[in-house]
A = this chain, B = another copy of it.
């Protein structure tokens, strides 16, 4: 099997403006995430950022991306709608998508969910304990029954998401809240995984368990069948599987255009 081609997308702003972030991610959060993935021999991760032309997500880049990971926070609005639509169409075809942490509010995640994606939050560097809901799940491999992140932002319920198709993780926070931290859905032919941890001012993406989850998740999100090209074909009466005769009126002309 050829290597899994991952593109790690980063908003790439906090790292340069805030010392508290640069401290943990001197080469950018995206670089740290990609490095973690590249520890695996079967994964080949490259990066793309907001500041690049087309945010680094050209047709060519997406065409050779099996799984895209997304981290954004303060600049969701700066992502061009044209690029969001392009990524969404590629997910429908079969590309996997990992939405990380504050990307719950990214344009692409909200567009795929169709819901508010809201939550409550607190930035207090508190303990997060991530519990595994299915110990046999591909995304939970190599973890114990739970793992801890000593300092994390809190995200709490209610989380405004469609009912998850798979529930992989739920988090316990020291301050008293809970959160659906690992959830999976499919849209079209693509698999989507939301993973909660990853606040910019803590070294979360250096955490061995978090790195393990990301490796597991990109493997899980890998396209498994073939591409589904979006299409809405007209099947004229003479091409119907069963013989039929055309009846009734139409607002379309003989070429299928609305008159």
Residue of B nearest to A237 (CB): B124
Assess whether A235 is in contact with B120, with CB atoms less than 8 Å apart.
yes
Q: How large is the interface on A (under 10, 10 to 19, 20 to 34, 35 or more residues)?
A: 35 or more
Assess whether B165 is in contact with A249, with CB atoms less than 8 Å apart.
no
Return chain B residues, CB-CB under 8 Å to A26: none
Q: What DSSP secondary structure best describes chain A's contact surface? A: loop
- Residues facing B in A224-259 (CB within 8 A) are 224-228, 230-237, 240-242, 244-252, 258-259
Interchain CA distance A166-B180 in the complex, whole Å = 13
Question: Quick one: which of B21, B139, B145, B174 contacts A242, CB cutoff 8 A?
Answer: B174
Minimal beta-carbon separation of A182 from chain B (angstroms): 11
Assess whether A131 is in contact with B115, with CB atoms less than 8 Å apart.
no
Minimal beta-carbon separation of A15 from chain B (angstroms): 10
Q: Decide if A134 is an interface residue (CB 8 Å cutoff).
A: yes
Q: Decide if A55 is an interface residue (CB 8 Å cutoff).
A: no
Question: Quick one: which of B121, B173, B223, B231 contacts A136, CB cutoff 8 A?
Answer: B223
Contact code string A81-116 (vs B, CB < 8 Å = 1, else 0):
000000011001110000000000100000111111
What would 5 A/B residue contacts be, using CB atoms closer than 8 Å? Answer: A92-B115, A111-B111, A111-B114, A114-B114, A176-B241
- Beyond the given pairs A172-B177, A176-B242, 8 more chain A to chain B contacts, judged by CB atoms under 8 angstroms and listed by A's residue number, are A74-B258, A121-B235, A136-B227, A141-B226, A172-B173, A172-B178, A175-B244, A177-B235
Binding site for B on A (CB under 8 A): 14, 17-21, 23, 74, 88-89, 92-94, 105, 111-116, 118-126, 129, 131-141, 145-146, 148, 151, 154, 156-160, 162-167, 170-178, 180, 185-189, 200-202, 220, 223-228, 230-237, 240-242, 244-252, 258-259
Listed from nearest, the 8 A-B pairs whose CB atoms lie closest are A20-B249, A176-B241, A125-B248, A125-B247, A136-B189, A175-B240, A136-B228, A176-B242
